[in-house]
Amino acid sequence: AQSVTQLGSHVSVSEGALVLLRCNYSSSVPPYLFWYVQYPNQGLQLLLKYTTGATLVKGINGFEAEFKKSETSFHLTKPSAHMSDAAEYFCAVSGGGGSNYKLTFGKGTLLTVNP
């Protein structure tokens, strides 16, 4: 079974400050990891994903995430927050085997950006 834990249901930063959203996962098979963003009243949009290879993954809108197997983590960062980054962020994991279609989502982290 796979699971995702997002530490902090709500993170608040000032505009221009570093954004750090934490995600830890549990998986019995090599994981594929995703970050999605959900803007108010919209669907989920893929920010970035890790499959294999380079552990530092760059995504859209200046976000990046680093896969750390030893820490079972996939934290999302952005050097400088912008007002438009305010949204809810979801970390998700999928894996191999018979259920390779399943995405298991974390509970989400709501990011607030203060002027």
Contact residues: other proteins, CB under 8 A: 32, 34, 36, 41-46, 49, 51, 90, 94-96, 99-103, 105-108
Instruction: Tell the smallest beta-carbon distance from residue 97 to other proteins (Å).
Output: 9
CB of 32 to other proteins, least distance (A): 4
Residues 25, 43: Cα–Cα separation, whole Å: 23
Minimum distance from CB of 64 to other proteins (Å)? Answer: 17
- Other CB atoms within a 10 A radius of the CB of residue 92 amount to 23
Nearer to other proteins, 107 or 114 (CB): 107
- By DSSP bridging, strand 73-78 and strand 87-94 are unpaired
**Separation between Cα atoms, residue 47 and residue 62, nearest integer Å:** 9
For residues 6 and 53, give the distance between their C-alpha atoms in angstroms, rounded to a whole number.
24
C-beta closer to other proteins: residue 81 or 92: 92
Residue whose CB is less far from other proteins, 30 or 79: 30
